[in-house]
Every structure is written in C-alpha cells, then in structure tokens.
Amino acid sequence: MKPNTILAAFLLMSGSAQVWAAPAPVSEAANSNQTLEERVSQLESMMRTRNLLQAELQQQLNLLQEEVSQVRGVTEEQSYKLEKVLQRQRELYQEIENRVSQAYDQSQSTAVTPDVTPEQAFSSNLSENEAYDRTVNMIMKDKRYDAAIPEFQSFLQQYPNSVYVPNAHYWLGQLFLIKSDDGKAKSHFATVVDNFPESNKRPEAMLKLGTILHKQGQAAEAKTLLNKLIKEYPSTTPAKLATERLAKM
C-alpha cells in the first residue's frame, strides 16, 4: 500500500467524528482507486447528510420558539389575573371605608334614641360590628378568601336584619366569582338587586349580575339589566362601565 494511501486511511479513521472540523472528502479524493463519479456521489451523500442535520436543527429551533411563545402567553395571562386580584382588593378597601362611615352614622343615630338605653344599643351594635369586621379582615388582612365564605354565611344567619346584610351578599358574590362559581355569585348579586333597593352596593351588584348573565348566554336579560342600571344610577362608575359593556355586546 502506498504511503499516501496509508496516511489518508489513518486520517479518515481518526477524524470520522469531526466531519465539520476537517472535511473528509479531501482524504477520500486522494484515493486514486475512486472514479470521479464515485467521488462526486460521496460528496453529494455528505451534503445530503449535512442538509438533514440542518433541517433537524431548524425543527428544534422552531420547537423552542413555540415554547417561548407559550411561556409568553402564560405570563400575560398571569399578569391579567394579578390585575383582577388587585382590582378586587381596591374594591374591598373601598368597602372598609363605607363600613366605617355607616357604623359611625349608626352610632350617632342610636345615641339620640330615647327609648333604648346606651348600654343596650352599644352592646348590640358592637357584637354585630365585630362579627362583620372580623369577616372583612379575613379578606383584607389575611387574604383568606375561602375561609371568609362560611363566615359571611354565618353572619347572615346570626344577623338576618343587620344593616350589613346587602354588603354581605355582595361580598359573597365577589368571593364566589374569585372561585369561578358563577351560579352562586349570580344568586347573591340577584339578592342585592331584588331585595335591597336602597343599598349602595346595588349598582355594582347590577353590573356584576349583568356580566354573569351575558357570560351565560342570556344576552337579552343582561342588556335589560345594564340599561336599567344606567337609568337608575346615571352618574355612577358602574353605570359608565355598563355603557362600555353594552357597546361591546
């Protein structure tokens, strides 16, 4: 065997795993026993192999791009959910301010009632206020949304004539919305709308109830309720939101 042929064979065996670093066709081309057609065929075979590798790499790149898109979608969804939670928290903070104002007004009115002693009025109101305050704090301070549901339900059973009854129904509706239980949320919002016309939570309850009705495919009922909200509470924020939602229906 000729020395240059031996050298070519040695290079071919030692560099077979380094196709990209040292092109094997040079050593193969040095073999004088191969015809030109055989050399061309071998080069074409190597080109096809390289093209297959490139195609596989491109496929892997496409898969990575799809995974990145999926991760981006999940991130956007989580951001949307976070904004919803923050919105609910802002509403709950507003509820605390309303409750404090109501409790103050009630204490002022009972103080001048002649046929009820101060001790009796204070004791009764304190128990009711403490129960309601404790339940609201489970939402505002402790973020125990699931635990707040049975507490509100217990409050409604213990104080069926409380001034906070419509508020309790409203917040139960909100809590069930968080749990994606539209059926129970709908029931509590409907209670506020139908039974407590003087409640300051009624406009918001009408808006939420209309949204649920539309989501459940009851578009006509939803439009009727939202139009009623706009007519009865024309200058409120819920009425403005109702106008925007009607425009999208």
pLDDT of residue 213: 94
92 pLDDT above the threshold of 50: yes
Q: What is the mean pLDDT of residues 133-161?
A: 87
Does a structural domain hold residue 18? no
User: Which domain range does residue 152 map to?
Assistant: 127-249
Same domain membership, residue 160 and residue 74: no
66 pLDDT above the threshold of 70: yes
12 pLDDT above the threshold of 80: no
Does a structural domain hold residue 84? yes
144 pLDDT above the threshold of 80: yes
Give the model confidence (pLDDT) of 165-211 as tens digits. Answer: 999 999 999 999 888 899 999 999 999 999 999 999 999 999 999 99
In whole angstroms, give the CA distance from residue 169 to residue 159.
12
Q: At what angle do helices 182-195 and 165-178 cross, to 10 degrees?
A: 160
111 pLDDT above the threshold of 50: no
Same domain membership, residue 204 and residue 150: yes
Quick check: 113 and 121 in contact, CB under 8 A? yes
26 pLDDT above the threshold of 50: no
Same domain membership, residue 107 and residue 136: no
65 pLDDT above the threshold of 60: yes
Same domain membership, residue 233 and residue 145: yes
Quick check: 208 and 173 in contact, CB under 8 A? yes
